[in-house]
Structure 1
């Protein structure tokens, strides 16, 4: 069964609970790309007459749970988990390395910024756990970043509707915009130090 059909059936049959579970799994590094899952949740919330703020809120809670799971895994298992991920998924090496650099250089703010960058969004939780970042700060900055990311993507699906090509085009332009913002914030932080 195709992923989109599976997700649609879950959301149709179980509503907000399924959105919570799917988003939690995505933030816990299950192979469910948020760039597809979250706009699709917005599309389906419109299709099934679900309340958009409720969908966004539940997705944020799911994102926080998935992030805490990854944080805890990083905290308890640490570097062996990172080594496993690098071996099993070689494409993650760059994201993991970048996550370490950002946490070392920018501390807590890196968690919030990473939530807006594909791949780094989920790996930052593991790295934060490995580096034993304060859990309260981790949750605060994660919540801010997750809220921004989920709100944008779910709202995009809700507003644009069932036009994944248009959503893909918007996301590619969004990636450039986020890259510019990250460079500006990084420059500010470097200058401040």
Structure 2
């Protein structure tokens, strides 16, 4: 069984083929035949993407019914307070239904974090906050929809863990066997 841990850069698609979009894909970074992503990250999200050639592992990591925890480092607009964090943790109701309870806590911007290209838009009069959010489900654009729901739109989103796998020092565009 092969597992690849990849730090997906901003702007890269979580697939191996371009399909005419003109955006970079995993093929530009990973030359490991037979592996496929176990889940996805949006083009404008960064961080850990787990790839494997084991279909059962791929299903366990990516299908919501298995409840594998995924942890995200999220930069949000505004000074997020305890009420918003409690709402995220308790679950919010989105258009596709209520989210499961999560773990949400405010954190400092980590010293290990790389600069994003292009940079997040800076506005001097609007502060930003960083949170760590751990979910047991993975709906389409869920983190972004949850933070917007509590009044703090996501500016930057980095996945740091998927189940037992962590980013652990991988630079953007780098991969290693898992």
TM-score for the superposition, normalised by structure 2: 0.29
More strand by share: 2
More helix by share: 1
Q: Which has the higher contact order (CA 8 A, sep 6+)?
A: 2
